[in-house]
């Protein structure tokens, strides 16, 4: 058997068995690791009377506030908004949201329904955020990431008709396994596998691809047990199941729908996933219950200045006519997104300032659509999970709660991520974004128009307190250490200063690291 590099072996594992198998192999080889969180931090020996000023009451800021007060520091938090949480945000019936440019949306969902414009799911291996939910008594429930009965869709495949994920997944895997098994059987891979491995490989492909004893993927009760039957097994007269016809292998390949199959197998989408009961802002409220007394809301920071003796922050009290106020502290933890911090007067070092000014932010748009009834369940047997499409909306996520109920329900009717489609949505007014989501969604669910009740659309480049959904590194290798370093008396933290961008885990881990290093500097000089 020929020698294989680790990279080549991992590539083969990923191609044939999927990214889950590849990740497990990478972990075994020491190449991939889950969240680095190992439990609550211990900050001991805080000098009496030392004041820490925290800018921003998102998860990074409130994590810092919680842990630094527990360590004995005097803590104050300034927050631009009228509430805590930052991008950990939920919109419900009666909420009002005004975006940059002045467009205002009044959320008209039924009581109990909501949409999370920002984070909407929690990976089980994001240990820090899960642990804080446990410590803060934030109840969680399962989030259904993958539903094989949901759809994959492209406008140029199968005449534009959406296909059940289970059909594409099973047929693609079966057809590819058949081709590979035949290549092995014909000796075309003899240079890569031994005779012993050849026999085991064919056996594994028969199992993995649901092949018959001739190494063929064909219509049968066995394949239908994976892809679904034409008629399900029943009871009584005529109860025998009828197998379904696999899709044509060339059509499956040319459809490129297989590009949509592996998203749920990436590490941050492994089952199980979770969501806070009642909305993602349950996490923000959990933190707020602990540190809300430290937060001054409606405080728009306009200047951050430091010298060798301390930090001085000037801010506008937007709840009281914009009166200018000043706060001083010994040290500062700044969790303001760089997209905003770059517009604030400051005297941070040139190395840090250059990173701040040079960091653009990803755009993203989410559209929440409320419908009169749960037609995806009642008409199409879809209970939770995600449908993927090549249209600008990219995906439709069905609610993971309230199954079998009759009343109105909200689904995520669009979630763009970067690219031209996001900029198109940015240029629209909210009503136009909702119309686009309806127009695209009805290609998958014809019931959209008749069942539509209300909608809300949030484009993150127009969200005033962040102007984007997550930071983008121009050159992380060059700039990262400058960005996370303690800058005299200021240290920055947030999702943008982590290797888990756009995830709440990244924000918390960045904060824990920043305050640990700041604490060490304070007590050790």
Containing 301, the helix (H) or strand (E) segment is: strand 299-307
Higher pLDDT, 34 or 162: 162
Assess contact for 393 and 436: CB atoms under 8 A: yes
Considering the chain, tell me which residue range(s) the CATH 3.90.660.10 domain(s) occupy: 91-149+271-279+362-462
User: Across residues 141-168, what is the average pLDDT?
Assistant: 98
Cα–Cα distance measured from residue 279 to residue 353, given in angstroms and rounded to the nearest whole number: 36
- DSSP per residue, 405-469: --S-EEEEEEEEESHHHHHHHHTS-HHHHHHHHHHHHTTT-TTHHHHEEEEEEEEGGG-TTTSSS
- Tokens 């642990």 sit at which residue? 131
Cα three-residue angle 126-132-138, rounded to 5 degrees: 105
Mean pLDDT score across all residues of the chain:
93
Q: 43-95, pLDDT tens digit by residue? A: 988 999 999 999 999 999 999 999 999 999 999 999 999 999 999 999 999 99
Task: Confirm or reject CATH 3.40.50.1100 for domain 91-149+271-279+362-462, answering yes or no.
Answer: no
Whether residue 217 has pLDDT greater than 80: yes
CATH architecture assigned to 51-80+291-359+474-524: 3-Layer(bba) Sandwich (3.50)
Per CATH, the number for 165-254 is: 1.20.1440.240
Q: What is the pTM of this model?
A: 0.91
Cα–Cα distance measured from residue 347 to residue 307, given in angstroms and rounded to the nearest whole number: 9
Considering the chain, tell me which residue range(s) the CATH 3.50.50.60 domain(s) occupy: 51-80+291-359+474-524
Whether residue 192 has pLDDT greater than 60: yes
- Tokens 């920071």 sit at which residue? 301
- Tokens 């932010």 sit at which residue? 361
Q: What per-residue confidence (pLDDT) applies to 344? A: 98
Q: What per-residue confidence (pLDDT) applies to 439? A: 98
CA distances from 423 to 87, 220, 253, 418, 473 (A): 20, 47, 31, 8, 19
Considering the chain, tell me which residue range(s) the CATH 1.20.1440.240 domain(s) occupy: 165-254
Assess contact for 246 and 154: CB atoms under 8 A: no
Q: What per-residue confidence (pLDDT) applies to 193? A: 85
Among the ranges given (19-28, 165-174, 355-364, 380-389), the one the predictor scored with the smallest mean pLDDT: 19-28
């Amino acid at each position: 058997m020929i020698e294989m590099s680790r990279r080549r072996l991992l590539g083969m594992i990923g191609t044939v068995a999927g990214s889950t198998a590849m990740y497990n192999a990478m972990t075994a080889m020491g190449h991939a690791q889950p969240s680095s969180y190992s439990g609550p931090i211990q900050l001991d020996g805080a000098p009496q009377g030392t004041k820490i000023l925290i800018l921003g009451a998102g998860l990074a800021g409130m994590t810092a506030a919680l842990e630094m007060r527990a360590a004995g520091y005097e803590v104050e938090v300034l927050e631009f908004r009228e509430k805590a949480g930052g991008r950990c945000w939920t919109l419900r019936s009666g909420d009002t949201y005004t975006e940059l440019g002045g467009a205002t949306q009044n959320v008209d969902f039924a009581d109990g329904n909501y949409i999370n414009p920002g984070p909407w799911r929690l990976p089980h291996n994001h240990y820090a955020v899960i642990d804080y939910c446990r410590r803060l008594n934030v109840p969680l429930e399962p989030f259904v990431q993958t539903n094989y009965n949901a759809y994959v869709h492209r406008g140029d495949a199968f005449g534009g008709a959406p296909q059940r994920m289970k059909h594409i997944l099973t047929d693609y895997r079966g057809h590819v396994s058949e081709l590979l098994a035949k290549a092995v059987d014909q000796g075309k891979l003899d240079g890569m596998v031994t005779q012993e491995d050849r026999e085991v490989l064919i056996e594994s492909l028969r199992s993995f691809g649901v092949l018959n004893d001739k190494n063929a993927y064909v219509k049968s009760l066995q394949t239908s047990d994976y892809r679904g039957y034409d008629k399900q097994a029943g009871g009584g007269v005529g109860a025998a199941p009828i197998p379904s016809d696999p899709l044509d292998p060339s059509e499956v390949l040319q459809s490129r729908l297989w590009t949509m199959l592996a998203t749920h197998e990436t590490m941050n989408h492994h089952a199980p996933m979770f969501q806070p009961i009642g909305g993602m802002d349950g996490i923000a409220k959990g933190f707020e219950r602990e540190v809300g007394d430290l937060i001054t809301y409606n405080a728009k920071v306009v200047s951050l200045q430091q010298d060798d003796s301390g930090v001085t922050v000037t801010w506008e009290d937007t709840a009281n006519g914009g009166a200018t106020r000043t706060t001083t502290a010994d040290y500062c933890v700044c969790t303001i997104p760089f997209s905003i911090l770059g517009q604030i007067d400051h005297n941070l070092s040139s190395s840090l300032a250059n990173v701040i000014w040079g960091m653009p932010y990803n755009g993203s748009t989410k559209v929440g659509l409320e419908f009169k009834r749960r037609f995806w369940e009642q008409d199409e047997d879809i209970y939770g999970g995600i449908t993927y499409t090549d249209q600008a909306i990219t995906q439709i996520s069905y609610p993971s709660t309230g199954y079998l109920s009759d009343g109105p329900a909200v689904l995520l009717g669009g979630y763009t991520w970067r690219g031209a489609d996001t900029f198109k949505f940015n240029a629209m007014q909210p009503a136009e974004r909702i119309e686009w989501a309806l127009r695209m969604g009805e290609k998958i669910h014809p019931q959209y128009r008749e069942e539509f009740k209300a909608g809300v659309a949030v484009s993150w480049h127009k969200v005033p307190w962040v102007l984007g959904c997550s930071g983008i590194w121009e050159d992380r290798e060059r700039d990262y250490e400058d960005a996370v370093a303690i800058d005299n008396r200021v240290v920055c933290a947030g999702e943008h200063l982590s290797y888990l961008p756009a995830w709440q885990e990244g924000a918390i881990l960045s904060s824990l690291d920043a305050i640990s290093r700041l604490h060490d500097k304070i007590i050790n000089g």
